[in-house]
């Protein structure tokens, strides 16, 4: 019986020293915390402290999400991760016609600084690290967060966290883009420059392969297209006049962890090695922190099933183990009921407890990089690296990530992989326990968490009240400044912050930029 990896490599029945003929441990491995960082970005990794347990949460109103955050903090989570609803992700207010039916559904509805205050009520922002999964309007939500922190008396140099801010993967795999690529990249370079001065400890971007993997990318495709996007961001920032060693240490990445544990461990190790080489050799980065690929991991939502959902507890445990053995810096473990609906409180707590068992009841944190020297993992690391580099070279042949996106290259490659996976599941060549094999017909009914549809009317009423109370002249003047900056070369975040402080809404700020930059329309060839 033959086995193939997710990236299509044939597994050997037995791996031995001959499999790694010519393997140079010193060149390929190095020491933990040293170039090329195959064994991890820190010398001690988890032997002194575990990874950051950062559970992704957000739904309904800001008040409901705030309650969930306090529950997670009380349960022992180390960092917050905010899920925003679709209108917020697309830069629309809750009262926009296009937002109807989507308010608060897949995340929390944030329309203005009023909502942001409630979202982080009684949460000390100088003590909690916050990640925000927001892309096209990433600058807007970051500034709202900073404004709320300032109201708490917390200065910018005290804030730690991450905005996803990776719009290129939106054109490839996810679709929540607003502006065309050129203008999106300009806004991202403005964020880099702003944070360098105003929020020096903030991670300015989380370059994401997770959504590509959820769309069907193989492990090799996931890291290849993600790192290619990272190269595009670095080039944009350098072209804008930023020194690579001033912003690159704040770059971070976001990957998936599948149930195919061995290849996932190899994938993470290969990604670190490639990025270190690119940053040192292509961009001349001197600061070791500029060469380190630091990343957050989320277990694979696409592999969860609505059938026999309790099986997902096992899947998530294996996926979390893969992330930890691969050297992640932070981790979100999915709740077992996420294939059905938003997680219940109990399911979210169980997901966190899964991480805590891995950290405190196993011995995987006792030593750095437990799989180093494993014949199979080292062989897979080399194979994933070689395949990823080949794909990255193909992206370069198009002229870089943006040019390849405009030609539909990455999207086409991922769709072909997704189609292959679908065929394998349908034919039971790929077993999905409980769904296409080992099925049962008498499953117990499950009562999911439901979002109250009245939330939309509540948000609309809050917006009407906000617009009636605020100084509209002050808002209009600030938005006019933002428009002028967008038309020219000034950093957009400074007038944007003034507008948000005056209680301009997320939609109003985004519409101002839409007016200047337009919106992205995919080519017909996509």
Instruction: Output the domain CATH number for residue 274.
Output: 3.20.20.240
Residue 507 lies in a domain: no
Round to whole Å and give the CA distance between 123 and 100.
30
Provide mean pLDDT across the span 165-183. 95
pLDDT mean across residues, the chain: 94
Sheet strands (E) in 201-269 = 202-203, 205-208, 251-257
- pLDDT tier at 224 (50, 70, 90 boundaries)? very high
Identify whether 223 is part of a domain: yes
Determine what percent of the chain is predicted with pLDDT higher than 90. 87
Among 88, 99, 91, CA closest to 65: 88
Report which secondary-structure segment, H or E, holds 298: strand 295-299
Q: Cα separations (Å) of 332 from 33, 171, 243, 259, 329?
A: 23, 24, 32, 15, 11
pLDDT at 452: 83
| Global confidence as pTM | 0.93
Instruction: Compute how many other C-beta atoms are within 10 angstroms of the C-beta atom of residue 48.
Output: 9
pLDDT at 20: 79
Single out the residue of 216, 283, 282, 224 nearest to residue 253, CA to CA: 224
Question: Is 120 part of a structural domain of the chain?
Answer: yes
The region of weakest confidence among 72-76, 271-275, 327-331, 485-489 is 72-76
Domain membership flag for residue 277: yes
Region class of 77: left (phi > 0), else alpha (psi between -120 and 50), else beta: beta
Please report how many Cα atoms fall inside a 13 Å half-sphere around the Cα of residue 413, on the Cβ side: 22
d(CA 221, CA 152): 43
Residue 260 in domain: yes
Q: Are 348 and 340 in contact (CB under 8 A)?
A: no
Range of the domain at 264: 17-426
Q: With a cut of 70, say whether residue 524 has pLDDT above it.
A: no
Q: Is residue 221 part of a domain?
A: yes
Residue 78 pLDDT: 83
Residues 6+ apart with CB under 8 A from 357: 317
User: What is the tally of structural domains in the chain?
Assistant: 1
**pLDDT given for residue 2 in this prediction:** 60
The residue among 411, 410, 379, 378 whose CA lies nearest residue 396 is 410
Give pLDDT, residue 525.
43
Helices (H) and strands (E) in the chain, counts: 21, 9
Q: Give tens-digit pLDDT for 237-249.
A: 999 999 999 999 9
Q: Is residue 512 part of a domain?
A: no
% pLDDT > 70, the chain: 98
Cα 390 from Cα 402, distance rounded (Å): 18
434 domain residue, yes or no: no
Give the dihedral sign, CA 517/520/523/526. Answer: positive
Answer yes or no: are the C-beta atoms of 512 and 479 closer than 8 Å.
Answer: yes
What are the tens digits of pLDDT across the range 34-83?
Answer: 999 999 999 999 999 999 999 888 999 999 999 999 999 999 988 899 99
How many CB atoms sit inside 10 A of residue 176's CB? 19
Position 51 scores a pLDDT of 96
Q: Cis peptide before 110, with omega less than 30 degrees from 0? A: no
User: Where does residue 241 rank: exposed (0-12), middle (13-18), buried (19+ CB within 10 A)?
Assistant: exposed
Q: What is the mean pLDDT of residues 83-105?
A: 96
Compute the distance between CA of residue 328 and CA of residue 78 in angstroms, rounded to an integer: 15
Q: What is the pLDDT of residue 496?
A: 98
Apex CA 325: angle with CA 319 and CA 328, to 5°? 85
Mean pLDDT for 342-366 is 94
Is residue 97 classed as helix, strand or coil in its secondary structure? Answer: helix
Average pLDDT over residues 86-113: 96
| Rounded Cα–Cα distance for residues 195 and 189 (Å) | 10
For residues 385 and 276, give the distance between their C-alpha atoms in angstroms, rounded to a whole number: 12
**Contact status, residue 493 vs residue 143, Cβ threshold 8 Å:** yes
């Amino acid at each position: 019986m033959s086995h193939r990896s997710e990236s299509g490599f044939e597994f050997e029945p037995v791996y031995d020293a001959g499999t790694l003929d010519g393997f140079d441990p010193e060149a390929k491995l190095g020491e933990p915390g040293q170039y090329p960082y195959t064994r991890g970005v820190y010398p001690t990794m988890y032997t002194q402290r575990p990874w950051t347990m950062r559970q992704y949460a957000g739904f309904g109103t800001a008040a409901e999400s705030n309650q969930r955050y306090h529950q997670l903090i009380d349960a022992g989570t180390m960092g917050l991760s905010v899920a925003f609803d679709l209108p917020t992700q697309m830069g629309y207010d809750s009262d926009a016609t296009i937002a109807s039916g989507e308010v608060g559904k897949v995340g929390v509805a944030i329309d203005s600084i009023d909502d942001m205050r409630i979202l982080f009520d009684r949460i000390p922002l100088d003590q909690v690290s916050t990640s925000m999964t927001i892309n096209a309007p990433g600058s807007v939500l970051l500034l709202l967060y900073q404004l709320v922190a300032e109201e708490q008396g917390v200065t910018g140099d005290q804030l730690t966290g991450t905005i996803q801010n990776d719009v290129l993967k939106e054109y490839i795999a996810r679709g929540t883009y607003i502006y065309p690529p050129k203008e999106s990249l300009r806004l991202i370079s403005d964020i880099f420059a702003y944070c360098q001065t105003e929020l020096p400890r903030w991670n300015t971007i989380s370059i994401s392969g997770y959504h590509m993997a959820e769309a069907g990318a193989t492990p090799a495709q996931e890291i290849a297209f993600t790192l290619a996007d990272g190269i595009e961001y670095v080039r944009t920032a350098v072209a804008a006049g930023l020194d690579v060693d001033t912003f690159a240490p704040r770059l971070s990445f976001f990957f998936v962890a599948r149930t195919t544990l061995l290849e996932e461990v190899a994938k993470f190790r290969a990604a670190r090695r490639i990025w270190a080489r690119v940053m040192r050799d292509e961009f001349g980065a001197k600061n070791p922190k500029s060469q380190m690929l630091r990343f957050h991991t989320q277990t694979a939502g696409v592999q969860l099933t609505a059938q026999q959902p309790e099986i997902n507890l096992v899947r998530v445990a294996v996926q979390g183990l893969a992330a930890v053995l691969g050297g992640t810096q932070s981790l979100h473990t999915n709740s077992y009921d996420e294939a059905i609906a938003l997680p219940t409180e109990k399911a979210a707590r169980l997901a966190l407890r899964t991480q805590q068992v891995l950290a405190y009841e196993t011995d995987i944190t006792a030593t750095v990089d437990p799989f180093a020297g494993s014949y199979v993992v080292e062989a897979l690391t080399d194979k994933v690296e070689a395949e990823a580099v080949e794909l990255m070279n193909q992206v370069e042949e198009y002229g870089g990530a943006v040019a390849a996106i405009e030609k539909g290259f990455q999207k086409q490659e991922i769709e072909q992989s997704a189609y292959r996976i679908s065929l394998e599941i349908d034919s039971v060549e790929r077993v999905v326990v409980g769904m296409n094999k080992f099925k049962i017909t008498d499953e117990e009914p499950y009562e999911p968490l439901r979002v109250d549809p009245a939330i939309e009317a509540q948000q609309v009423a809050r917006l009407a009240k906000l617009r009636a109370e605020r100084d509209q002249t002050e808002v209009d003047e600030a938005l006019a400044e933002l428009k002028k900056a967008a038309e020219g070369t000034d950093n957009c975040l400074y007038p944007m912050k003034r507008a948000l402080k005056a209680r301009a809404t997320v939609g109003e700020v985004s519409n101002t930029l839409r007016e200047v930059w337009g919106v992205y329309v995919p080519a017909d060839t996509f």
